[in-house]
Amino acid sequence: MEVLGCHLLLELKDCNSELLNDLSYIRSAMIETAQDVGATIVGESFHHFSPQGVTGILAIAESHISIHTWPEYGYAAADIFSCGTSFVPREAATKLAEALECRNPEIQEIQRGLAVQEAVGL
């Protein structure tokens, strides 16, 4: 396979519920994570749901970092996709999990790309 990117799916269980419901904190944690690992932020969108929960996305030059939170369950689903080599996605995943005081993170890594035949135009 011609690997074009690394996609991490984060199952963040047993997080601090108060943090998961704080849009300002989530935004700051994601921006700080991106900056700390060397990602280039090119856009953002965040929303607080009623009565609770936050969703947010950082568009980064390397692809994206996104999150969806369920404070009532102490759970967040996050996504880190990088199609470059300017930062290590696992480092970003660790930083984000720590920022949310996650006690039970699970990370699944998916290599994204094309079969060799597709990559060479066969």
Q: Are 39 and 81 in contact (CB under 8 A)?
A: no
Please identify which residue in the block is written with the tokens 């849009």: 23
Is the full-model pTM beyond 0.85?
Answer: yes
Taking only the tens place, the pLDDT of each residue in 40-92 is 999 999 999 999 999 999 999 999 999 999 999 999 999 999 998 889 999 99
Which residues are tagged catalytic?
A: 63, 68, 83
In the chain, the amino acid numbered 73 is: Y
Q: In total, how many domains does the chain have?
A: 1
Predicted local confidence at residue 1, as pLDDT: 81
81 phi/psi in degrees, rounded to 5: -125, 125
For the domain that residue 38 is a member of, what is the CATH number? 3.60.90.10
Q: Which are the contacts of 90, defined by CB distance < 8 A and separation ≥ 6? A: 8, 107, 109
Domain that holds residue 37: 2-119
Predicted local confidence at residue 115, as pLDDT: 72
Is residue 117 scored above 90 in pLDDT?
no
Taking only the tens place, the pLDDT of each residue in 3-20 is 899 999 999 999 999 999
Question: Could you tell me which residues are beta bridge partners of residue 22?
Answer: none
Predicted local confidence at residue 84, as pLDDT: 80
Taking only the tens place, the pLDDT of each residue in 32-49 is 999 999 999 999 999 999
SS3 55: strand
Predicted local confidence at residue 114, as pLDDT: 87
String of b and e for 87-113 (b: at least 16 CB within 10 Å)?
A: bebeebbbbbbebbebeebebeeeeee
